[in-house]
């Protein structure tokens, strides 16, 4: 297969266009030897060009793959970075504010609980005192209704019970309200004790409601929230650090791929240039334009037909003329003057 490939390459390169019968002079034998050497180089360069083409395609594929990996990794890193900057930082700051507020609320709640208990216990003590007052009022009422206390009542108020025969006597003006005062001393404690009973019940209901709200549990919830928030922030930072490391690795790989792709392109182009140079050389050796230099003819005139007056005479004058033209072209290679003018033939 390699031999067949070499034969195909020789056919494509026109290396067999020149027949051995055309060569009659020693210079032709020399050209034949040189042509064969360059042909072999051309075959190898042709294979190298194919190799460079495939290498360039492979490096290009690797470059695009690494480019996509870099973009994906960068996007993923940005997601975690933006999440850490916004949500992570915001969550920690919010948690700090909640922690301070909960601490303040818990302190206020304890003070409120202390005051409510103090009020409830005070009402409880008042209730006990009112119990004694109510009991005294009951005793006073019983004494007023006792028949044995009629004279004492009469002496205090100037009144007797309705079933008594003796009517009221005139009392000093300042003692006229004594009867009403005694009734109030009997009635008010009972009425006030009922109100106090409601106050007592309501006060302990409020204490129960305040305790049932159990705001102290916010402290434990806040600590749990703080722990979870720190764990979440730590996870984001760890992942972000990992993604940043991955991103740096992908960037290094992408840079290396750019270098490899650039080198592969330059190697390919350089090999192409070598191949084209060898191909043109083979073309020249197979079909030389200066055939008069090879096929010596005594009838050739030694005239200077170049027109520059610098060439000698003889059969090599044509070659000298072509070299002279090359020199003129080289002089104009990096010159931009009169670039738009049509190029004149030598």
Note the pLDDT tens digit of each residue in 37-58: 878 888 888 888 888 899 899 9
Cα 256 to Cα 172: distance, rounded to the nearest angstrom: 123
pLDDT band at 199 (very low <50, low <70, confident <90, very high): confident
pLDDT digits (tens, 9 = 90+) for 258-279: 999 999 999 888 888 888 888 8
Q: Is 294 helix (H, G, I), strand (E, B) or coil?
A: helix
Cα 105 to Cα 118: distance, rounded to the nearest angstrom: 20
Cα 74 to Cα 77: distance, rounded to the nearest angstrom: 5
What are the DSSP calls for 235-253, one per residue?
HHHHHHHHHHHHHHHHHHH
pLDDT digits (tens, 9 = 90+) for 285-325: 777 665 555 554 544 444 444 445 555 556 666 677 777 77
Cα 306 to Cα 315: distance, rounded to the nearest angstrom: 13
Write down the residue that tokens 């006229």 correspond to: 176
Where along the chain do its domains lie?
Answer: 2-288, 291-346
Q: Which of 1-15, 85-99, 158-172 has the highest mean pLDDT?
A: 85-99
Architecture in CATH of 2-288? Orthogonal Bundle (1.10)
Residue 228 has pLDDT above 80, yes or no: yes
Residue 11 has pLDDT above 50, yes or no: no
Region 212-226: what's the mean pLDDT?
A: 82
Q: What is the pLDDT of residue 57?
A: 92
Neighbour-count burial of 128, counting CB atoms closer than 10 A to its CB (0-12 exposed, 13-18 middle, 19+ buried): exposed
Whether 203 contacts 119, CB under 8 Å: yes
């Amino acid at each position: 297969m390699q031999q067949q490939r070499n034969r195909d390459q020789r056919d494509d390169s026109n290396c067999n266009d020149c027949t051995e019968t055309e060569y009659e002079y020693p210079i032709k034998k020399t050209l034949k030897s040189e042509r064969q050497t360059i042909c072999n180089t051309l075959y190898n360069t042709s294979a190298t060009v194919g190799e460079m083409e495939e290498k360039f395609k492979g490096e290009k594929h690797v470059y695009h793959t690494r480019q996509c990996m870099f973009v994906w990794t960068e996007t993923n890193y940005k997601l975690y970075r933006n999440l850490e900057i916004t949500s992570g930082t915001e969550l920690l700051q919010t948690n700090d504010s909640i922690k301070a507020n909960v601490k303040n609320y818990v302190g206020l709640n304890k003070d409120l609980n202390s005051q409510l208990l103090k009020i409830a216990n005070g009402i409880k003590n008042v209730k006990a005192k009112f119990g004694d007052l109510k009991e005294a009022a009951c005793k006073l009422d019983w004494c007023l209704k006792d028949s044995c206390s009629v004279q004492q009542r009469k002496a205090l108020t100037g009144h007797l019970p309705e079933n008594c025969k003796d009517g009221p006597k005139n009392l000093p003006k300042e003692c006229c309200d004594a009867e009403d005062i005694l009734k109030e001393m009997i009635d008010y404690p009972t009425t006030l004790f009922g109100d106090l009973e409601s106050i007592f019940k309501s006060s302990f209901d409020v204490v129960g409601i305040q305790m049932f709200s159990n705001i102290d549990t916010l402290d434990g919830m806040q600590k749990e929230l703080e722990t979870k928030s720190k764990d979440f922030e730590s996870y984001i930072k760890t992942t972000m650090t990992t993604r940043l490391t991955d991103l740096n690795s992908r960037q290094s790989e992408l840079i290396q791929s750019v270098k490899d792709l650039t080198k592969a392109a330059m190697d390919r182009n350089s090999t192409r240039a070598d191949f084209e140079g060898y191909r043109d050389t083979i073309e020249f050796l197979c079909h030389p334009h200066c055939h008069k230099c090879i096929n010596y003819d005594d009838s050739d005139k030694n005239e200077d037909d170049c027109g520059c007056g610098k060439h000698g005479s003889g059969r090599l004058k044509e070659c000298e003329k072509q070299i002279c033209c090359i020199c003129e072209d080289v002089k104009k290679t990096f010159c931009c003057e009169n670039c738009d003018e049509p190029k004149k033939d030598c």
